[in-house]
Structure formats: structure tokens, C-alpha cells
Structure 1
């Protein structure tokens, strides 16, 4: 089995950053009225700016595949070109189409050479699933290198016009002309962007590399119902009714394709199950977390940060609070790309030194999945 190293990390964030006060001018106002939830959600999540693949005129500037291709292209130079790639692994929760796969569309834009591709679906853990597929391929000797990505173009799902039919219906029934909080909550959380990692079976000669010690993931879908979803509606019994069972008229009237969040279920379980899975991974790896130098937790909101710190401490996991590293306030919640963007910023910071231990932590509230990776700077 080969050792596997992250030798390069890159990112691509579209257009100029959007401040909190500019959000509705880009996304639009539902039913022509300012959101009553926006300030409450923004106050809690702590996000100060984010990026959209939309220009100031409301025109789409990048597809998800294009965002991903741009991030990947930033990995290349004369010593490693697009034609040196052997495996492309792409993870996202917001592909541009149902078919073909996201990785196939990215490969089409790269237009480099014949290579193996893999697409990872899901929500935030999709980027980590992409990383794990590449890691296992290089480790097993199936490939000498792999390019792994996480990317999102969530903005297209949170534009006001995606909710217009439902808002009009609510207004005609003399109800409050706003979307239910579970549907509007994520409008003020999500951002667009992409990140990419180059994995190789040898480390860099003239710069730092990150040796992947292990990648682990856990799902709690066997005991918890769906929390975050799109392309369906949640029924009273907790099951999801698929978009394929609704008429095309209902797709619009009930905003079936909007991204929804059961916030009560999120609040109750996301931290508890996160710490439970951390305990499982440290036990499995016989790992003492007290020597972690950089802990990179993907959190959707700073609202959860103190809760997570408290729960970790109460569990007896000695992850140093001084090791926490996140850039949520500067780039927003970019779903499966967030962990890539954090690692890229850390690697570019000049703070890392040989021997440092890095822990990546990614929760996914879809049906509560968690993924972790442990890295050593070398």
C-alpha cells in the first residue's frame, strides 16, 4: 500500500464578495418584500460575506462544472499539467443537471485526456467522499495521482423567483406572503465556490505536503429521519415524497426543488451525533486528539461553534480550542467545498511546519453523516 500525500490545494470563488446588505439585491425579494428572517439568521450564523456565480445584473456567470474546472486549473503548472491527471473525483450537492454525472461535465470542460472519473453525491460530505475515493485509489496503487474536488452553486436554488409561485399562493390565501422558515433559513447561509486537491504517491521535494493518515465517515440514517433535503417534500411520518411523484405544476406551487432544513431536528442532533462520531473515530484509530495542531470543523453557522466546543469538552475529547481554524465568515457556507477552502487557506498562510497534525471534520445534516480526515505536515 502506498503513502498518499496532498501536494497541492486550490480554490475558485466567483465574482466579487457579496456583503450581508447586498444579498437580497442579488437573490431578490420573495413576493417583493424584504425578508423578516434574514437579519435573525445572519446574526446567528456570523457570515459577513459570500460569493455567488451571479453578476450584479442578475446574470449567471459560472456553472457548477465551470467553478470546479477553474479550481482544478489552479493546481496546474509546468511540473504537473492537466495531462498528468490519472483520476478525477468530484463531489457536490448541486450538480448542474441530473444526468450526466458532475465529474463527466467537469472532465468535458477540462478537455485534457482520457482518464478515470468518479462523482460523489450527497451534501457537505460529498467533498470528503470524493477525497476518500481518490485517497484509496492512490493508496492501493490503482493510480499514481488523483484530483479531488468539492464544489457548489447553491445560488440558483435560493433565488427569489424559485419561490414566486408558492409565495403568490400563500398571498391569495391571505396568509403571510413569506416562505416557511424551513425553506428560507438556508437562503442566508449558502454560497458558491469550488476547491481542489492534488493527491500523489510521493511528497513534494521543495515544499510542504500533507500526508493523509486516514479518512473515516459515519452515517446515522439508520436511526434519524431526514433533516436537509431538496427535490421532495417531507411528510408527517418523516418520509420524503420524491419530486417524481408530484406534477410539474406542484413543482412550482410547492417549491419542491428548493433546499429545505428541519431546523428543530438540526438543533437536536447535529452536535450530539457529531461528537458521538468523533468518539468513534478516535477510538477506532487509537488516536489521542490532544496533539492536534489545527482542527478544521466545517460549521454551517457560528451559532453551533460554542455548542460544539462545549460538547467536545464534556465528552472528554481533548481537542485544544487553540487549534480551531475556520474561514466561514469570509467565504460563507460552501457545502462540500468548505473543507477544501479552509485547507487551502491554511496551507497558504505560511503557518504550517513539519510534524503538525491537522484534523478535518465535516458534518452533513441531510440524514446526519460525518466525515473526518487526519493529516500530518511533512
Structure 2
């Protein structure tokens, strides 16, 4: 088995940062009315800036594949060119098209040479799953290098025109023309961007991060769906797929809108996160004092204190100064968030040889969690 190192990291955040007061300038008003939930949600998540790959007219400035390509391109230089790449592994929850795969669309923009492709679909853990594919490919000796990515382009999914048919339908039915909170909630949580890592079988440059291990857990066997798109949730908790709806229902009921069951999110995201992280650390005999930097991806600052308390109760007391997050400055970029956070830490000047880093990524889709433990070398 071969050692695996993150030798370079890059991010791409489109256009200018968007403040809280500007969000509806980009996403638009639903039913020409400002959202009543927006300020409450923003007060809880505490995000102050985020990035959108659209302009104020709602016109796209970048596709998801272009965001990813722009991050990947920064990893190439005279020492590692696009002709050296062997594996491209891309994760996202918001691909531009259902098919071909997201990785294939990114590769089509790179125009370098034939490489092995992997596409990881899901929600936030898709970026970590893409990373694990590259990690295992190099570790097994299948390849000498890989580029792994996480990226999101959700702004167009959240734009007001996507909900207009539902509003008109509600008016026709003489019902209140207000979209459900499960749909409005995520409009103020998610944003666009991409991150990329270069993985190699030996360290390179001034700083490299050795991937010691990666672990992943799913609780879908016992918990129902929480975050979803392309379907709707029935009273019994099952998901009815978009293909089982009539075409007119896709618009009238905003079937493709991203939705979240906030009730079960609050009930399970922290307990299962604490349980899985404790299990991962125990499996590899890692204690809190063997973590110099803890990078938890959280969708909202609302969960930070609860996560800290839950970990302490489990005997995992990570000092507050070891927590490294950039959620408030760059927003919740889903599968790209952990890439963007680690890129910032990697080039912050704070790291020294021997430092140990724990990455933690939860996914509320049906409650999955992924972890990686790194050593600075």
C-alpha cells in the first residue's frame, strides 16, 4: 500500500461576495414578496457573505462544470501539468445535467488527455466520497496521482422563477400563495463554488498533507430522508420520484426544488454526527489531544455549540481554538465546503510539520457522515 498526500489545494468562488441584504437581488422575490423567513434563518446561520454564479438578472455566469474546471486549472504548473493527470474524481449535489456524469463534463472542459473518471453523487458527502476514490486509487497503486473536487451551482435551483408556477397554482386553488418553509429554508443557506485537491503518492512543495485514513457512515437503514430534490416526501416518509409525477406537477408543485425536513434535521444531525465521529476516532485510536486543527463542515452556525457539547459528552473535548471554520465568510457551499476550508488553512501560514487535522462532513440527505485524518509534512 502506498502513502497518499494532498500536495496542492485550490478554490474558485464566482463573482463578488454577496451580502445578506443583496441575496434577493440575485435569487429574486417569490410572488413579488420578500421572504418572511429569510432574516430568521440568516440570524441563526450567521453567514454574512456567499457567492453566486449568476448576475442580478438571474443569468448564469458559470456552470457547475466551469466552476470545477476553474478550481482544477489552478493545480497545474510546470511541475505538474494537465498531461500528467491520471484520475479525475468529482463530487457534487447539483450537476448541470442528469447525464453525462459531472466528472465527464469537467473533463470535457479541461481538454487535456484521456484519464480515469469518477463521479460522486449525493449531497455534502459527495465531495468527501470523491476524495476517498482518489485516495484509494493511489493507496492501492492503481494510480500515482488524482485530482478530487467538490462543487456546487445551486443559485439557479433557488431562483424565484422556479417557484412561480407553484404560486400561480396555489392562487388558482384559492390557497395562500406562500411556498412551504421546507423549500424557503434552503434558499438562504446554500451558495456556489468549487474546491479541488491534487493527490500524489509522495509529498511535494513546501507543504503536503498526508491522508492517514478516511471513514464514512450512513444511517439511511434506520432514518428517513431529510434533504432531497427531484421528488417529494409522502406522509409515510417515503419519497415519490419526479418520474412518477405528471409533467405539469413538476412545475405546479416545485418537485425539483431543494427541500429539507427541518424537524428530523434537528432531531438527528448532531447525535448521529457525534456517534459517527466518536466511532471513527475509536477505530483509529485517535483522542482529542491528537487533533491540532478540527475542520467541521456545518450548514449553519446554529449547530456549532450543540456539536461541541455533544462531543464533550462523548469524551471528545476539542479545545475551541482548534476549531477552524470559514462558513460565515464564504457560505455553505455543500460538497465544496470542506475543500474550501482546508485550502484556506493549508495556505494560512499556521500549519507546521507534524500538525494533525481532522475533517468532518455531515450530510442530512439521509444522514451520512465522512471523516479524514491528515498529518502535515
TM-score band (shorter)? over 0.9
Q: Compute the displacement of 1:173 (Å).
A: 3.6
C-alpha contact (below 8 Å) 2:45/2:301 kept by paired residues = yes
In structure 1, the partner of 2:88 is 88
In structure 2, the partner of 1:163 is 163
In structure 2, the partner of 1:180 is 180
Task: State how 1:1-378 maps to structure 2 within 5 Å.
Answer: 1-204=1-204, 206-378=205-377
Q: Compute the displacement of 1:292 (Å).
A: 0.6
Secondary structure of 2:272's match?
helix
C-alpha contact (below 8 Å) 1:69/1:109 kept by paired residues = yes
Q: Compute the displacement of 1:367 (Å).
A: 0.2
- Pick which of 174-183 and 81-90 moved more: 174-183
Aligned mates of 1:313, 1:172 — CA distance in 2? 52
C-alpha contact (below 8 Å) 1:171/1:177 kept by paired residues = yes
Aligned mates of 1:119, 1:15 — CA distance in 2? 26
- Pick which of 169-178 and 100-109 moved more: 169-178
Aligned mates of 1:62, 1:124 — CA distance in 2? 20
Q: Compute the displacement of 1:148 (Å).
A: 0.1
C-alpha contact (below 8 Å) 1:76/1:82 kept by paired residues = yes
Q: Compute the displacement of 1:178 (Å).
A: 1.6
Aligned mates of 1:242, 1:58 — CA distance in 2? 27
1:50-105 CA distance string (max 9 Å, x none): 00000233321100000000000011111111111000000000000000000000
The TM-score with structure 1 as length reference comes to 0.99
Aligned mates of 2:225, 2:337 — CA distance in 1? 22
Secondary structure of 1:366's match?
coil
Q: Compute the displacement of 1:329 (Å).
A: 0.6
C-alpha contact (below 8 Å) 1:46/1:329 kept by paired residues = yes
Aligned mates of 1:321, 1:308 — CA distance in 2? 12
Secondary structure of 1:154's match?
coil
C-alpha contact (below 8 Å) 2:227/2:364 kept by paired residues = yes
Secondary structure of 1:163's match?
helix
1:186-231 CA distance string (max 9 Å, x none): 0000000000000000101x40100000010000001100000000
C-alpha contact (below 8 Å) 1:2/1:140 kept by paired residues = yes
C-alpha contact (below 8 Å) 2:58/2:156 kept by paired residues = no
1:248-300 CA distance string (max 9 Å, x none): 10000000000000000000000000000011101111111222111000000
Secondary structure of 1:99's match?
coil
Aligned mates of 1:52, 1:337 — CA distance in 2? 14
Q: CA RMSD in A?
A: 0.8
Gaps of 5+ in 1: none
Aligned mates of 1:63, 1:322 — CA distance in 2? 37
Q: Compute the displacement of 1:314 (Å).
A: 1.1
The TM-score with structure 2 as length reference comes to 0.99
- Pick which of 47-56 and 225-234 moved more: 47-56
Q: Compute the displacement of 1:133 (Å).
A: 0.2
- Pick which of 327-336 and 175-184 moved more: 175-184
Aligned mates of 2:368, 2:234 — CA distance in 1? 21
Q: Compute the displacement of 1:352 (Å).
A: 0.4
Aligned mates of 2:250, 2:68 — CA distance in 1? 28
Secondary structure of 1:155's match?
coil
1:145-192 CA distance string (max 9 Å, x none): 000000000111100000111112223344332211001000000000
Secondary structure of 1:32's match?
coil
C-alpha contact (below 8 Å) 1:292/1:320 kept by paired residues = no
Q: Compute the displacement of 1:319 (Å).
A: 2.0
C-alpha contact (below 8 Å) 2:119/2:130 kept by paired residues = yes
Aligned mates of 1:198, 1:171 — CA distance in 2? 51
Aligned mates of 1:171, 1:35 — CA distance in 2? 18
